[in-house]
Structure 1
Amino acid sequence: MKVVMTLLARNEADIVDAQLAYHLHAGVDHVIATDNASTDGTTEIFERYERAGYLHLLRESADDMRQDEWVTRMARVAATDHGADWVVHADADEFWWPRGGSLKDVLASVPARYGVVRGCWRHFLPRPDDGGFFAERMTVRLATPAHPGAKETIFHAHQKVAHRAHPEVEIEAGNHNAQAPGLRSLRAWHPLEVLHFSFRSAAQLGRKAQGGWLRNRGYEPTEHQILLDEAARAGRLDDFYGAFAIDDDALARGLADGTLALDTRLRDALRAIRRDDGAFAPAAGGQLLDFPRPKTEDDAAYAAEASVLVEIDGVVRAEERVRALERRLDALERGPLRRLARR
């Protein structure tokens, strides 16, 4: 089995080296990356992995972040040019964590009749910025993510997608869904966690605010993207970051009431593959990280947290039915009925 990961990034140099190396140790065989006009060293990191033979690099200079279009292109290239069996779609701030065995082991266990599986987003919260490596201080995880649409927090439950390679696949913006003829979704099972580190420092948020989301006329921005843009324009990025950072008092309260959890898995995994110079090396000779089966109590907590995704999946299925109906109506309008109406 060959597993290919797609990655679209712009100015993510503080995390992308770790992200690439981690996944190559976790069961990914090859990466297709699109660099969107990075200026902070991200491009050079991609080029280093490309020279080593681990990565196929595409480049986009446009300033309007057409994510669905660019990720769909990478997904199809994975199928047609790289012989992928499965394709995992990740962002630079995401680390796909298999719940026992490697990513390849988990995907190999999917019954043949299914072509799409989803990972559960798990948010790691910002901590006061000490200037150090993000994974060393970001070990606080939100244990009770909100339902999408809730206004009390920007850290919502959601799911990300992996699928069997297909030359006609289409990927939804945000990598939340994949569609292609014959790709049947496996529902209500989330054997993969997506460890999410979106807010890492005020400086990183400044780079994030320069992305092209809000310049894409066809994109509907999320609330946090609008708030981030407003903070950047007003010069309030430190305050914006500080409003979400978890200090020691907030951590103690969250641990006591069960809304927060300490989770050092990524920190420990990255320590295992980080070189003495601080950089990361891909898996030499097929070396893999170890992903033990979760304990029973961890499984129970995960099942409770992921239960909201069943509701989300119902919304996804409704949207799929609407899109299918729209395609059928469009075909009818372009077919015999259209010609008859003209007569």
Structure 2
Amino acid sequence: MNYLIKNEADIILDNIKVHAQLGADCFVIIDNGSTDNTRELLDSVKDQYEMIIIDRPLLDYQQSNWKTEMAKTAARQLGADWSIANDADEFWIPKDGNLKTEMKSSGSILECPRYNMLYDRSAFDQEVPYYLQTSKVQYPINYPKGIQCNQPHLSIMLGQIHGKVAVRSRGLLRVKGGNHRAWHAWGWLNKHISENISVYHYPIRSKEKFIQNIENRKALLDAGVTKMGDHYRRWVSMYQEGAIEEELNRLTVTEQNRHALFDLGVLAEDRSAKDVISKLLQERSL
């Protein structure tokens, strides 16, 4: 499993601990200039896992290049047969078996669906752990592309999001930006869509972390980075306008929107990730 991270101290160790128990044998991590204690936390566990940590404190954010580099480093130096392109806020939860169950020696690319997990606003304000949240965006709203930047009343968390990919090392050509696609020498022949693994996405975990992420994206934009999701541009703009509190109401489940979203099927109760993550974090701490 590989990660490109910056300032993920609140979640990175949870992510590593959970996926190590779900079948990830080794980890390659690029730290993109963290200024919290993310780097120190990685150092504190590097002897517990087979792990390579690369410091890359640059503001050019070459996501596709760096993700491809990590996948090839995992294959070359750690003997990884497959590479999972992950983010610190995503948990790959299998229904049966473990992460390796569908990663066959004859495969190429494994595509896994990804779902946003929404905080209850009251739980968000009380800083309840992210993995206890069970509101999943089951049927996202198909907003027209690019509309989020000029329609402030819409919710980014309710929109369509791409899945993620795991790639077999042999034949790997390139992991694409965002980790949503990959090029593989025979991907056209035996690419597979997973029926077992779902990726649970927890991008909104605390107000402090949310603002920190926005400030990081603003620094990238100020440095001339152009390849960035429209939602980040939206949040940078709202941050500069002082509209973050209103945006958090659109990104969480409030008393005003709860019944409508569940009644219409946009949101559904899903305890799968909560049960697995809670159990594995507890076992690791014993």
> What SS is found at the alignment partner of 1:258?
coil
- Once the two structures are superposed, the pairs formed by residues 63-212 of structure 1 within 5 Å of their partners are 63-108=59-104, 112=106, 114-128=107-121, 129=124, 130-136=126-132, 138-147=133-142, 149-150=144-145, 151=147, 152-154=154-156, 155-166=159-170, 169-184=173-188, 186-187=190-191, 189-191=193-195, 192-212=197-217
Measure, in 2, the Cα distance between the counterparts of 1:147 and 1:252.
Answer: 20
| Displacement of 1:197 | 0.9
Measure, in 2, the Cα distance between the counterparts of 1:148 and 1:6.
Answer: 30
| Displacement of 1:195 | 0.7
Tell me, yes or no, if structure 1 residue 242 matches structure 2 residue 235: no
Residues 245, 14 of structure 1: alpha-carbon distance in 2 compared, 3 angstrom cutoff: same
Measure, in 2, the Cα distance between the counterparts of 1:178 and 1:208.
Answer: 26
| Displacement of 1:215 | 4.8
Contact 1:140/1:260 (<8 A) preserved: yes
Tell me, yes or no, if structure 1 residue 271 matches structure 2 residue 278: yes
> What SS is found at the alignment partner of 2:29?
strand
| Displacement of 1:258 | 1.6
Contact 1:146/1:153 (<8 A) preserved: no
Match of 1:307 in 2: none
> What SS is found at the alignment partner of 2:46?
helix
Residues 264, 121 of structure 1: alpha-carbon distance in 2 compared, 3 angstrom cutoff: same
Match of 2:266 in 1: 259
Match of 1:232 in 2: 239
Residues 160, 54 of structure 1: alpha-carbon distance in 2 compared, 3 angstrom cutoff: same
| Displacement of 1:182 | 3.5
What amino acid maps onto 1:204 in structure 2?
Answer: K
Residues 188, 107 of structure 1: alpha-carbon distance in 2 compared, 3 angstrom cutoff: closer
Measure, in 1, the Cα distance between the counterparts of 2:191 and 2:25.
Answer: 26
| Displacement of 1:70 | 1.3
> What SS is found at the alignment partner of 1:161?
strand
Contact 1:161/1:177 (<8 A) preserved: yes
| Displacement of 1:167 | 7.4
Tell me, yes or no, if structure 1 residue 62 matches structure 2 residue 66: no
Identity rate of aligned residues, in percent? 24
Match of 1:332 in 2: none
- Once the two structures are superposed, the pairs formed by residues 308-319 of structure 1 within 5 Å of their partners are none
Residues 167, 50 of structure 1: alpha-carbon distance in 2 compared, 3 angstrom cutoff: farther
Measure, in 2, the Cα distance between the counterparts of 1:185 and 1:103.
Answer: 22
Contact 1:78/1:87 (<8 A) preserved: yes
> What SS is found at the alignment partner of 2:212?
helix
Whichever of the two has the greater Rg, that structure is 1
- Once the two structures are superposed, the pairs formed by residues 218-229 of structure 1 within 5 Å of their partners are 219-229=226-236
Q: Which runs of 5+ in 2 are unaligned?
A: 148-153
What amino acid maps onto 1:124 in structure 2?
Answer: M
Contact 1:68/1:173 (<8 A) preserved: yes
Q: Deviations over 1:258-287 (max 9, x none)?
A: 221111222222221334xxxx838x9xxx
Contact 2:111/2:164 (<8 A) preserved: yes
Question: What value does the CA root-mean-square deviation take over the aligned residues?
Answer: 2.4
Measure, in 1, the Cα distance between the counterparts of 2:103 and 2:166.
Answer: 9
Measure, in 1, the Cα distance between the counterparts of 2:171 and 2:78.
Answer: 11
Residues 45, 261 of structure 1: alpha-carbon distance in 2 compared, 3 angstrom cutoff: same
Measure, in 2, the Cα distance between the counterparts of 1:17 and 1:179.
Answer: 29
Tell me, yes or no, if structure 1 residue 281 matches structure 2 residue 251: no
> What SS is found at the alignment partner of 2:177?
coil
What amino acid maps onto 1:50 in structure 2?
Answer: K
Contact 1:122/1:195 (<8 A) preserved: yes
| Displacement of 1:43 | 1.2
Q: Deviations over 1:134-165 (max 9, x none)?
A: 112x2111111134744454231312111101
Residues 281, 9 of structure 1: alpha-carbon distance in 2 compared, 3 angstrom cutoff: farther
Measure, in 2, the Cα distance between the counterparts of 1:185 and 1:20.
Answer: 32
Match of 1:297 in 2: none
